[in-house]
């Protein structure tokens, strides 16, 4: 593969991928930032930047929903969703976070952005044995200004039907103690034909020491190394 492109989660800088880039070295690594205020515009922006050669797309958290649209482009040879899912919200037949909770958080971002940012930081590290250390480590990687709440609307999208349009290898890596995306989705994602790996720890999967070896094994098995 000629490139590896990593897309960050909402409100977090792309530097969060530096440990993964070091543990899984490749000459074509890139980590892209958010640049738009609407999810549809962000998809269009990232799609326009895709290289013409073949590569692998890694998307963490919110960006995973958008990456399913990017995966339609033929140069994307494989997609890895890190602590992400084609459907984040709970339905009668699908585990997830209640849509009302996302909407309440979105409202909080508008009226009390500082407290919302603190809560979001805590949720990302929640469940890890080193949660306090991870919160301190993550804090300087948060955007200095409020990132567009409108981007979070993508968490209410249901992209499960879009999977039928994709014919590339897709790996979903979930975190066992994730406080944002329930690990209970694992068997449901497998029923959709996706490969799923569950690693210990919190939503902050880009920092998991188990992530790089798991990805290296999966890429080798699919001829992507």
- Cα(27)–Cα(49) distance, integer angstroms: 18
Q: What is the CATH number of the domain that holds 100?
A: 3.40.50.1820
Phi, psi of 12, deg, nearest 5:
-125, 140
Residue in 61, 63, 85, 89 annotated catalytic: 61
Beta bridge partners of 175: 199
Say if pTM beats, i.e. exceeds, 0.85: yes
Alpha-carbon distances of 5 from 21, 50, 85, rounded to whole Å: 10, 9, 18
Determine contact, residues 28/3, Cβ cutoff 8 Å: yes
Residue in 63, 84, 178, 208 annotated catalytic: 178
Q: What is the pLDDT of residue 146?
A: 57
Determine contact, residues 119/104, Cβ cutoff 8 Å: no
Q: What is the pLDDT of residue 211?
A: 97
Q: Give how many domains the chain has, as a whole number.
A: 1
- Cα(93)–Cα(81) distance, integer angstroms: 21
Residue in 69, 84, 202, 203 annotated catalytic: 203
Q: Where are the alpha helices (DSSP H) in the chain?
A: 18-23, 39-49, 63-70, 99-111, 113-125, 131-138, 186-191, 211-221
pLDDT in tens, the chain (225 residues): 799 999 999 989 999 999 999 999 998 999 999 999 999 999 999 999 999 999 999 999 999 999 999 999 999 999 999 999 999 999 999 999 988 888 888 888 888 888 888 888 888 999 888 889 999 999 888 875 557 888 989 999 999 999 999 999 999 999 999 999 999 999 999 999 999 999 999 999 999 999 999 999 999 999 987
Q: What is the pLDDT of residue 76?
A: 98
- 203 catalytically annotated: yes
Work out the end-to-end distance of the chain between its first and last CA atoms, rounded to an integer number of angstroms. 7
- 63 catalytically annotated: no
- Cα(216)–Cα(188) distance, integer angstroms: 24
Q: Which domain holds residue 141?
A: 3-221
């Amino acid at each position: 593969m000629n490139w590896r492109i990593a897309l960050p989660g909402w409100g977090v800088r792309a530097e969060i991928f530096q440990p993964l880039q070091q543990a899984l070295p490749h000459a074509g690594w890139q980590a892209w930032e958010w640049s738009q205020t609407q999810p549809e515009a962000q998809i269009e922006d990232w799609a326009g930047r895709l290289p013409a050669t073949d590569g692998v797309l890694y998307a963490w958290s919110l960006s995973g929903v958008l990456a399913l649209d990017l995966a339609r482009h033929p140069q994307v040879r494989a997609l890895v969703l890190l602590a992400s899912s084609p459907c984040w919200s709970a339905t009668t037949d699908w585990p997830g976070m209640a849509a009302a909770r996302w909407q309440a958080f979105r409202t909080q971002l508008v009226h009390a952005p500082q407290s919302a940012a603190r809560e979001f930081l805590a949720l990302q590290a929640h469940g890890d044995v080193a949660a306090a250390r991870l919160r301190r480590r993550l804090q300087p990687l948060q955007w200095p200004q409020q990132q567009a709440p409108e981007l979070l609307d993508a968490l209410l999208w249901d992209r499960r039907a879009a999977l039928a349009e994709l014919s590339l290898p897709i790996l979903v890596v979930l975190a066992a103690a994730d406080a944002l995306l329930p690990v209970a989705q694992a068997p449901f994602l497998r029923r959709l034909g996706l490969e799923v790996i569950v690693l210990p720890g919190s939503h902050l999967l880009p920092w998991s020491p188990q992530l790089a070896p798991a990805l290296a094994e999966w890429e080798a098995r699919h001829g992507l190394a």
